[in-house]
Amino acid sequence: MALTPAPAWKERPRRTTFLSFSPPAISEAEIEAVVDTLRSDWITTGPKTKRFETEFSGYIGAKAALALNSCTAGLHVALATCGIGPGDEVITTPMTFCASANVIEHVGARPVLVDVEPDTLTIDPQRVAEHITPRTKAILPVHYAGHPADMRPIMELAHEHKLYVIEDAAHSLPATYEGQNVGTIGDFTAFSFYATKNLTTAEGGMLTGSPDMMDRARVISLHGMNRDAWKRYTAEGSWYYEVVEPGFKYNMTDIQAAIGLVQLGRLEAMQARRREIVAQYNAAFSAIDALQTPTERPNVESAHHLYVLRLNLDRLKINRSAFIEQLKERQIGSSVHFIPVHLHPYYRDKYGFKPEDLPVAYAEYQRLVSLPLHPGLEDEEVLDVIAAVSEICEEYRL
């Protein structure tokens, strides 16, 4: 009787150097673009920023785009542009980075946290409907890990109740929902270009929306001035400006935009590599009963920003924290996305949240582990991750 061969991962030696979770994918082209900018007459907001806005909006099919210094800035500007403030409520998700809720606090409104769907971990439209009140002014869905939230029922609710929809797409460039690009669905969409994102400008972001709304957003994003530096200091510009409202200082620089323009040109190739890595992970981990691989619904195309495994803890002798320590011992970087908003002391204490108030987010949080996923991962490194995860699951299997 022939013996079943051992899985390939059992033959791999353990790594001897640490594999970073998500370093930026910067090439010589981005470096050259930055140097070119530094040698030009414009290093702050100028011609490259304007070109980046144009090319970005063209890439996703948005009607207008505004380059900013972060996704957080985009969300803040969007809320302010919509006139949301004290006494208002904004419905959002607990399964996100704190910035999504913080900006609601910044404008003086109340974040109303609604639980998530168990498969995608995106905001549950049915629960959104249950939390709409006369004080509700907007819905702020988050496209978790690159997977779009279920936008059709959200947009229907918004239309019925005359609410704004401000999408947090920090993870979701490029992603589609029912054939439509994320960034062209809600009233506003904010993207992140942080160092770990699918497209990076080191720090930075982009806000998309209608031209009329974006005109006001542009004023709010730069001190409330009705004429920005690019318009004032070019040969065609004028020194005169007026402050029409107290705005913010959220503009992107041409140094950042130079990186973004190159990254935008590389995005398709970088996304293809992300998809290859996800396919390798899924093939390996779907056969392990101690693991649940990420969901991708048939009506979406995920941006695959994060690869979030869920541990079936009833099949393991260890908890999530110990699992992560075991990965670290095997030289594999990992993270957790995210600590739900309602568990953070500020929100817990201010609004009296208990962990079980949002049961899906709380239960799923305790078994989340994000694995390395970026276009710079070599095949051998992907195999190292697969070997480490598989070995831990076998060693600590119940």
**Catalytic-labelled residue, pool 63, 137, 162, 197:** 197
Using the structure block, give the residue that is written with the tokens 């993207």.
Answer: 191
334 CB contacts (<8 Å, ≥6 apart)? Answer: 21, 324, 327, 328, 369, 370, 371, 372
Give the neighbor-by-neighbor strand order of the sheet with 164-169.
64-68, 205-209, 188-192, 164-169, 136-140, 89-92, 110-113
Beta bridge partners of 207: 66, 190
Which residues touch 214 (CB under 8 Å, ≥6 apart)? Answer: 63, 64, 65, 66, 207, 208
In whole angstroms, what is the distance from residue 96 CA to residue 117 CA? 13
Concerning whether 63 is annotated as a catalytic residue, the answer is no
Q: Which residues pair with 371 in a beta bridge?
A: 307
Contact yes or no for 263/201 (Cβ under 8 A): yes
Q: Is 377 helix (H, G, I), strand (E, B) or coil?
A: coil
Q: Where are the beta strands (DSSP E) in 327-394?
A: 368-371
Helix axes 254-285, 28-38, angle to 10 degrees: 170
Say what the alpha-carbon torsion angle 234, 236, 242, 246 is, to the nearest 10 degrees. Answer: -40
Chain center to CA of 212: 25
CA distance 304 to 42: 34
- The H or E element that residue 348 is part of is helix 345-351
End-to-end CA separation in angstroms for the chain: 28
- The first and second tokens of residue 186, run together, are 């809600």
Whether 148 contacts 122, CB under 8 Å:
yes
Question: What is the set of active-site residues?
Answer: 197
